[in-house]
Amino acid sequence: MDKQQQLDLLFFMRLTRSLEDRLDNLYKQGKIVGGLFRSLGQEATAVGSAYALDQKQGDMLSPLTRDLGALLVAGAQAREVFANYLWRATSLSKGRDQNLHITDLKRGFIGTISPLGTLIAVMNGVMLAAKIQKKKSVGMVYIGDGGTSTGAFHEAANFAAVQNLPMVIVGENNSYAYTTPTTKQMRILNLADRAKAYGMASEIVDGNDVMAVYGSARRAVDRARDGGGPTFIEAKTFRMRGHAAHDNQSYVAKETLDQWRKRDPIAQFEKALTEKKVAAAPDIEEVKKRVDQLLDEDLAWAESQPSPAPEDALGGVYADDSQPKAVGVGSEE
């Protein structure tokens, strides 16, 4: 990876963190509709994995709650993310859905869907179609440690393996599913062991090391494109906040958080970049300045956008994008 690509990784991790800091402020001001699920401490997993995809080859990405970074790498704009959280009429969901439920098939991303595990089945369908059409695209999809305990996950993982689908499943082992530690929901140490049961290739990687995550994802994407089938990547990381903004994380020991704070993915990467003389302090400052400037502009834009008109509520919910008149709202029926 050249210097520019490594600074790109830093840019996307910083953008993720600062965007979420601002969302945190908006949440506290009561401006966010719905919950705020942060990826604090997990930015390297989302950014490093998605960076291995190639949209020119039709690659698809389906992020989960903690994967804002992946969505940004795939080309989602900060203003689109703000507008969706603020429930604006001009957001990608047109004010009909919240947080990372953002879809744009042209740019290759399918937004989060809530029932855990089912996102993999959705990507299975997309990739089975791509395979039948002899396309060279690869699908990347994410799942948390808790999500790997669902029946939907096991059914979809088995299907991906048996159909040899060109996929990468990124298993984010952040040690907690809501308040449940992984030790209380599985008798194995590694999520990757679950993939082995289906005959799927797997790797375990330090999820806080963005270069290591990228390396692992690069191998998996290449394998998938070359017809080698799906890979499960277990990224070991830690959720540095509660499940969502309302959860004060009182069930996690302070010492555990202190230990993981020392392994912060952004601080670690900045240190590595300067120690290896890939970048100097002014390069890193420049990245921070670009992020702050972009977020100032994008937040101002999103806040200036209108809310959806109540009479449009029935339109654009299903495939038909027209805006039918609501019965009883300004109509004579």
Which among 50-58, 95-103, 124-132, 174-182 is the span making contact with ligand TPP, rule CB under 6 A? 174-182
Per-residue binding letters, 122-161, with ligand TPP (x by CB under 6 A): ----------------------xxxx--x-----------
CA–CA gap between residue 20 and residue 95 (Å, rounded)? 19
| Tokens describing residue 120 | 């993999």
Q: Are 44 and 209 in contact (CB under 8 A)?
A: yes
Residue list 9-38, contact with ligand TPP (CB under 6 A): none
Q: Which is nearer to ligand TPP, 37 or 85 (CB)?
A: 37
Q: Are 232 and 202 in contact (CB under 8 A)?
A: yes
CA–CA gap between residue 145 and residue 160 (Å, rounded)? 18
Indicate whether 190 belongs to the interface with ligand TPP (CB under 6 A): no
In whole angstroms, how close is the CB of 115 to ligand TPP at the nearest point? Answer: 5
Per-residue binding letters, 232-251, with ligand TPP (x by CB under 6 A): -------x---x--------
Partner residues linked to 177 by β-bridges: 180
Indicate whether 208 belongs to the interface with ligand TPP (CB under 6 A): no
Edge-to-edge strand order for the sheet containing 60-62? 60-62, 139-144, 167-173, 231-236, 201-206
Three-point CA angle 94, 99, 100, nearest 5°: 95
Helices and strands (H, E) in the chain, number of each type: 11, 7
Using CB under 6 A, pick the residue from 176, 214, 238, 269 that binds ligand TPP.
Answer: 176
Element (H, E) at 61: strand 60-62
In whole angstroms, how close is the CB of 34 to ligand TPP at the nearest point? Answer: 13
Q: Which is nearer to ligand TPP, 170 or 287 (CB)?
A: 170
In whole angstroms, how close is the CB of 198 to ligand TPP at the nearest point? Answer: 18
Contact footprint for ligand TPP (CB under 6 A): 65-66, 114-116, 144-147, 150, 172, 174, 176-178, 239, 243
